[in-house]
Amino acid sequence: METANLDWSNIGFGYIPTDYNVRCYYRNGKWGEIEVSSSDMIPMHMAATCLHYGQEAFEGLKAYRGKDGKIRIFRIEANAARMQSTSEATLMATVPTELFVEMTKKVVSLNSRFVPPYGSGAVLYIRPLLLGTSAQLGVHPADEYLFMIFVSPAGPYFKGGFATNPYVVIREYDRAAPLGMGAYKVGGNYAASLRANTKAHELGYSCEFYLDSKEKKYIDEAGAANFFGIKNDTYITPASYSVLPSITNNSLQQVALDLGMKVEKRQIPIEELDTFEEAGACGTAAVISPIERIDDIETGKSYVIAKDGKPGPWCRKLYDELTGIQFGDREDKHGWVTILDEE
């Protein structure tokens, strides 16, 4: 099939319409048939629990076109598992892994002309969405749910792609409470991050940087991405109850081990930033966004990590290896990639 007529090298991270999305409804205690839709709209009851009481979860993963023309989807099952944990935390119906995988493959196949060509730097972003749809006035879980997946071609999350970025510590707003929803992918966490993110941008930074919300002592997240620091050939990432368990971070820890690094998952006091040779923010959207510096404007301390302003050698190696696996250029030793059957 011919690819869509888009300026592949210049697409950003915005919504670009495609041909189809897929949907499945949960009613009377069970999931129904998979439906294919060409509408961008969702008919919705005005009292749906997703609109009032935050019964909403989403995921984000990507499909990549390889040099061989084949389409590869990265770690579908891991995204299914994370959505299941979000369902448990918000008392929403759980989407079985087989249904999640089948719908993901189907929506990518149906929109294969929107999977960008190899070498363009763009990919197909896949957005699964779970919504409580039945009407409630009282605060109770819904008994009907819609699980749907749409896709959109996407370029780099940060303009400039693989380059270092400055971050700023924000203490005045927390994105998540210590035993709250931080470890789950619910929309409310992103609403809670908007003020901090806007403030960071207004101050001239790429992104906000969060400390743990209880003591403000330890590193939590780098905006909507996980944090890792590197020193002495060791990849160090925070252990915290309020951080989203990033699938990119989990994959990078394995890749780091494969490349001969050591891996530590533990609390990281903010002062330790001074000791890192490299650091990065990681997530599906950005893969790795190397950190140039982290400014703590309240204490006046600036933790400069990339002294020459450039991504460091370990960040580059980790990035090349992970994206190599995703695009099919490097061996998929851990069985992370699902190759779509030819359309």
Q: Which range in 17-25, 279-287, 300-308, 319-327 contacts ligand COI by CB under 6 A? A: 279-287
Choose from ligand COI, ligand PLP, none: what does 221 bind? Cβ within 5-8 Å by kind.
ligand PLP
Residues 207-236, interacting with ligand COI (CB under 6 A):
224-225
- Minimum CB separation of residue 225 from ligand COI in Å reads 5
Choose from ligand COI, ligand PLP, none: what does 247 bind? Cβ within 5-8 Å by kind.
ligand PLP
Choose from ligand COI, ligand PLP, none: what does 128 bind? Cβ within 5-8 Å by kind.
none
Specify the residue, 183 or 286, whose C-beta has the smaller distance to ligand COI: 286
Instruction: Choose, by CB under 6 A, the member of 285, 291, 315, 337 that binds ligand COI.
Output: 285
Q: Is residue 60 part of the contact set for ligand COI (CB under 6 A)?
A: yes
Which parts of this chain interact with ligand PLP (CB under 6 A)?
Answer: 60, 221, 224-226, 244, 246-249, 283-284
Choose from ligand COI, ligand PLP, none: what does 244 bind? Cβ within 5-8 Å by kind.
ligand PLP
- Minimum CB separation of residue 143 from ligand PLP in Å reads 28
Give the phi and the psi of residue 174 in degrees, each rounded to 5.
-100, 145
Q: Is residue 283 part of the contact set for ligand COI (CB under 6 A)?
A: yes
